Amino acid sequence: MSFQLELPHNVVFIAGGILGWLIVLILVSRHYLKRQEKPSFWKVILVVLVGMFSFTINLNLMHVSTKLSILPLGVWILVGLLSKASWQTYRAFAWIGFWANFIFLFTTLMSGFMDNWVYPKEDASTYISDLENAYIVAIHPSGLQAVLNKERFQDQLRDVEAVDIMDMGLEWYQESSMESEPYYQKEHFPYALLGALPRWGSGRDSTMYIQDDGKGLLITTANQSYYYRSKEPLIDMGVRHDE
């Protein structure tokens, strides 16, 4: 299926989608204007839309999830439904509908590249942009009472260093689960940064955690974790309310 009801939350992909539809509209209009005998334009639009219907496979091309159309199901349906004469009239439009899938494939790939350029996936500031309602909360009993100093955090965020998480996740996991380890039943990341918003239009959903020494920031998205280290603690820990 080629239709997606759910709108993307990312402005780059929305722009790419609009561009794709514009290209299709231009192609259809140009072909329509070239015609001597003109069928009704609404019927043409309908034929193009049905022509888009196709059997697809999901492909992950360079980290962009796309759909590759293989079988022109919509075109076949039209062959079956239309009389011979009207098939001759609409044939070209039905095929424009099918090839439109490849125009969308192209615009999606383009958007994928553009997206990473506009909203870099490796930048902490992509995920943490608006701190107005941000706060820190201990999510594990090994965390202390902690407070967020928003201005200081924002400053330090510019200087954090990205660290390759390679194999560290497994270590963190094992150290907390094995009784022989000093981290047994403790959590390396006992704080969450909540209320922070990603950059406008990026749609980059994530959950952000702070390390027990206050100097590590872990940003976990749907399929990847990014890890950053700061020279100074990002939050104030060990503050008690009753003092």
DSSP single-letter state for residue 121 = T
Cβ pair 163, 229 in contact under 8 A:
yes
- Binding flag, residue 222, other proteins (CB under 8 A): yes
Q: Which of 38, 81, 177, 200 binds other proteins (CB under 8 A)?
A: 177
Binding positions for other proteins, 133-152, rule CB under 8 A = 137-142
- Binding flag, residue 60, other proteins (CB under 8 A): no
- Binding flag, residue 220, other proteins (CB under 8 A): yes
Cβ-based nearer residue to other proteins, 162 or 170: 170
Q: Which of 15, 168, 201, 236 binds other proteins (CB under 8 A)?
A: 168
Q: Which of 157, 206, 217, 228 binds other proteins (CB under 8 A)?
A: 206
Q: What is the DSSP string of 12-61?
A: HHHHHHHHHHHHHHHHHHHHHHH-SS---HHHHHHHHHHHH--EEEEEEE
Query: Which span sits near other proteins by CB under 8 A: 24-32, 154-162, 182-190, 233-241?
Result: 182-190
Query: Which span sits near other proteins by CB under 8 A: 74-82, 97-105, 144-152, 184-192?
Result: 184-192
Query: Which span sits near other proteins by CB under 8 A: 16-24, 70-78, 122-130, 189-197?
Result: 189-197
Nearest distance, CB of residue 176 and other proteins, angstroms:
6
- Binding flag, residue 68, other proteins (CB under 8 A): no
Residue keyed to tokens 């020279």: 231
Site string for other proteins, 105-134 (x = CB under 8 A): ------------------------------
Name, in order, each residue with C-beta under 8 angstroms of 173's C-beta and a sequence gap of 6 or more.
Answer: none
Name, in order, each residue with C-beta under 8 angstroms of 122's C-beta and a sequence gap of 6 or more.
Answer: 162, 226
Q: Which of 70, 147, 170, 178 binds other proteins (CB under 8 A)?
A: 170
Nearest distance, CB of residue 142 and other proteins, angstroms:
4
Q: Long-range contacts for 65-73 (Cβ within 8 Å, ≥24 apart)? A: 66/105, 66/108, 66/109, 66/112, 67/2, 67/101, 67/105, 68/105, 69/2, 69/98, 69/101, 69/102, 69/105, 72/98
Q: Nearest 5 degrees, angle CA 214-CA 130-CA 218?
A: 35
Give the helix/strand (H/E) hosting 193: strand 191-194
Q: Nearest 5 degrees, angle CA 93-CA 99-CA 104?
A: 120
Nearest distance, CB of residue 29 and other proteins, angstroms:
28
Q: Which two tokens stand for residue 198?
A: 């990603």
- Provide the binding-site residues for other proteins, judged by CB under 8 A: 1, 3-6, 58, 65, 137-142, 165-170, 172-173, 176-177, 184-190, 192, 194-195, 205-207, 209, 218, 220-225
